[in-house]
Chain A
Amino acid sequence: MRTSVLSLSAAVLALVAGCSDTGGPAAGGAEPYKITYVQGMAGNPFFTSLTCGAQERAKELGVQFDAQGGKDYSPQSQTPILNGVIAQKPDAIVISPMAGEAMVPALSKAKAAGIKLVFADSVADDATLAVSQIASDNYAGGVLAAQTLAKQVGEKGKVMVMGAKPGISTTDARQKGFEDEIGKHAGITYLGPQYSESQPATATSKFAAVFAANSDLAGVFAVSTQEVEGVATGVQNASKSGAVHIVGFDTSDPILDDVRNGVVESLIVQQPLQMGVDAVTQAVAALKGETTTPKISTPFVVLTKDNMTQPDVAKFIYKTTCD
């Protein structure tokens, strides 16, 4: 209820703002294209970086751009935002859908209304809805995490996955990638996944239980920032920083501290900035009637204590604000 009021006011404001002369030259000298990005959730460094990249590219191309997101990582929060955005009738919508199936009806309506769709980071189940899908290959990210962790534990010992909530496509894919890859490492015993419900406290509790039952636990793959924070706390409470290797996914300020302090060994970092840039490029191309690239896969970077200050790694650290 709150967020739709908020989004409605934001929509009104955006409409009013959009009526002023801000955009550069658009096709045929008409009003510039309007592109809205529906974030996975508002206020999250990953999506903020995506937004920043998109914003930059939009400015370059002279299109109007705004972004909105729900208050948490769920289709229940995102759907009203999406509906509100569709009602504003932008020319194109970039979206990071929070659920594969649940968002399809609303997105189909958008496409039917002539709005061009681009999926960024996560995808909806019906790929034909979008002119382009830009994502990290989360499955490949999971595979990379498994390879990294296997190396860190010396190809032997017990490992586990701290998952988020079953049903979120991105973290599910990472987990699957990890599990498939780790099965190929003969010396490693995979203890199975635990789920944190996206709450660090739960991640800490469940990690503690697994570690209590397996004091020789060698490594953990934490599928996103909430899990990393929880597992890091659990490891520190056990005074096992460094002894239990943690490979995480995505970054946040506290997690970067953990990397500096040696609690978290490596992070699989995505390139949301690049995703944002590509998303707007593809949207504008579709609007101009040019050809689009149906699938773009943005690469990963493995961030460690040793390389995190190097500029070609540091530039991937997710932003908390644009500029």
Chain B
Amino acid sequence: MTSVSIEEAPRPSAGLRRRLTASPLTYLSASLAAMIAVFSVAAPEAFLSAYNIQTMLTVTSVLLVLSVGMTFVIATAGIDLSVGSVLVFSAVMSLRTMTALGGSGFGVVLAGFAVAVVSGVVWGTLNGLLVAKAKVPALISTLGTMGAALGIAQLVTGGNDLSGVPKALYETVGLGKLFGVVPWLVVIALVVTVAGAVVLNQTRFGRYTLFVGSGAEAARRSGINVDLHLIKVYGLAGLLAGVAGFLDLALFASANIAGHSTDNLQAVAAVVLGGTSLFGGVATIPGTVIGVFIPAVLQNGFVILKVQTFWQEVAIGVVLVLAVYIDQLKRKSREKS
């Protein structure tokens, strides 16, 4: 007797087909498509106008970049509440640098970008060290850095929004468009998103991220340096928060101090809505993209259709809870013993 299982031999496409039809991503994409269809039919000249689409995409770009980083963190069964504050901190440091260097050349802009990225990485690494080495739970660690990063930014600026973003940055990246159609901010966010998806799904880094979330102890026993990997993941989230801060400078031509206090929860909501599990081990960047756009499209459509503000909030809240609930049901039905 050599066979130990009575199930059939694996068919290459069976699992894939089943996963596609059962996948929450399919339902989410369909929901988003349905919303877009409804709004397009109800108010085509407004909803489908170039300006509306460009602005919606542009403004959402910053949150999308944050959410890509958040996807990796949540995939490790962690959380990063500091992303909004790190965004502000990075924007402030970057703008201060560019102002100090003076001028409006490309080199100044590049220096500003470097400062924003480094600022983000520093805070992200600190988060990682607190979580992995000091073993402070992520919720608490990042709550602390959330306060500290914003606090320092407020000290440096006296709480004042900063002006003086170089024209080169503001006019080319902020307002400029690739081929005159696709805003550069959207292009950059798209590149970040695609890179994030590729890293998550195709590289060892992405796989280790999922291992840490789904079986950290198992990963350790396999010789994977889980602590170091956690530091890298939080570092990545910080890096992307820095990038988001730089994009925010380009978009608003200023460093805004008080306007990012809910970015962290918006990013978490987008990631969770998209199907990434708060318990770790399951993550999807395409899901995050949809999770970012569902609230954005809903808000945009509701304003165009003159739906009352209150109903907007209720609808978005209901969609979020429903999506996570459905995901939970699917998860339970998939698991046996």
A residues sitting closer than 8 Å to B (CB atoms) are 2, 41-45, 48, 71-73, 192, 194-195, 197-201, 204-206, 208-213, 215, 225-226, 229-230, 233-234, 236-238, 252-257, 320-321
Residues of A within 8 A of B259 (CB): 198-201, 226, 229
- Take A200-B259, A237-B55 as given contacts and tell me if A229 and B147 are in contact as well, using a CB distance cutoff of 8 Å: no
B317 within 8 A of A: no
- Take A195-B309, A197-B262, A206-B299 as given contacts and tell me if A256 and B163 are in contact as well, using a CB distance cutoff of 8 Å: yes
Q: State whether B257 touches A43 (Cβ < 8 A).
A: yes
Q: State whether B59 touches A213 (Cβ < 8 A).
A: no
Q: State whether B303 touches A206 (Cβ < 8 A).
A: yes
Residues of B within 8 A of A204 (CB): 55, 59, 251-252
Residues of A within 8 A of B175 (CB): 236-237
Taking a contact as CB atoms closer than 8 A, the residue among A198, A211, A238, A257 that contacts B258 in the complex is A198
Taking a contact as CB atoms closer than 8 A, the residue among B59, B62, B164, B256 that contacts A208 in the complex is B59
Q: State whether A253 touches B158 (Cβ < 8 A).
A: no
Q: State whether B258 touches A226 (Cβ < 8 A).
A: yes
B300 within 8 A of A: yes
Taking a contact as CB atoms closer than 8 A, the residue among B46, B158, B251 that contacts A48 in the complex is B158
The 4 nearest A-B residue pairs measured at CB: A43-B159, A254-B254, A212-B52, A209-B303
Q: State whether A229 touches B300 (Cβ < 8 A).
A: no
Taking a contact as CB atoms closer than 8 A, the residue among B46, B163, B257 that contacts A212 in the complex is B46
- Take A43-B157, A212-B46, A233-B253 as given contacts and tell me if A253 and B299 are in contact as well, using a CB distance cutoff of 8 Å: no
Q: State whether A254 touches B52 (Cβ < 8 A).
A: no
Chief secondary structure at chain B's binding surface: helix
Taking a contact as CB atoms closer than 8 A, the residue among B63, B159, B163, B252 that contacts A42 in the complex is B159
What distance in Å separates the Cβ of B41 from its nearest Cβ neighbour in chain A?
15
Alpha-carbon gap, A113 to B151, bound state (A): 32
Closest-by-CB residue of A relative to B260 is A199
B49 within 8 A of A: yes
Q: State whether B256 touches A229 (Cβ < 8 A).
A: yes
Taking CB atoms and an 8 Å cut-off, the chain B residues in 151-191 that contact chain A are 151, 154, 157-164, 175
B219 within 8 A of A: no
Taking a contact as CB atoms closer than 8 A, the residue among B51, B55, B164, B252 that contacts A229 in the complex is B252
From A44, A195, A254, residue with most partner B Cβ within 10 Å: A254
B28 within 8 A of A: no
Taking a contact as CB atoms closer than 8 A, the residue among A195, A205, A256 that contacts B55 in the complex is A205
Alpha-carbon gap, A42 to B150, bound state (A): 12
Q: State whether B52 touches A209 (Cβ < 8 A).
A: yes
Q: State whether B252 touches A254 (Cβ < 8 A).
A: yes
Alpha-carbon gap, A211 to B54, bound state (A): 13
What distance in Å separates the Cβ of A202 from its nearest Cβ neighbour in chain B?
8
Q: What 0/1 readout, one digit per residue, does chain B (245-271) give for beta carbons within 8 Å of chain A?
A: 000000111101111111000000000
Q: What 0/1 readout, one digit per residue, does chain B (43-83) give for beta carbons within 8 Å of chain A?
A: 10011010110111011001100000000000000000000
Q: State whether A44 touches B253 (Cβ < 8 A).
A: no
Alpha-carbon gap, A320 to B156, bound state (A): 11
Closest-by-CB residue of B relative to A321 is B158
Residues of A within 8 A of B47 (CB): 212
Taking a contact as CB atoms closer than 8 A, the residue among A71, A195, A237, A254 that contacts B163 in the complex is A254
Q: What 0/1 readout, one digit per residue, does chain B (198-228) give for beta carbons within 8 Å of chain A?
A: 0000000000000000000000000000000
Closest-by-CB residue of B relative to A233 is B252
Alpha-carbon gap, A72 to B9, bound state (A): 61
Q: State whether A254 touches B161 (Cβ < 8 A).
A: yes
Q: State whether B151 touches A209 (Cβ < 8 A).
A: no
- Take A194-B303, A212-B51, A212-B304 as given contacts and tell me if A205 and B296 are in contact as well, using a CB distance cutoff of 8 Å: yes
Taking a contact as CB atoms closer than 8 A, the residue among B154, B162, B257, B304 that contacts A213 in the complex is B304
Alpha-carbon gap, A199 to B256, bound state (A): 9
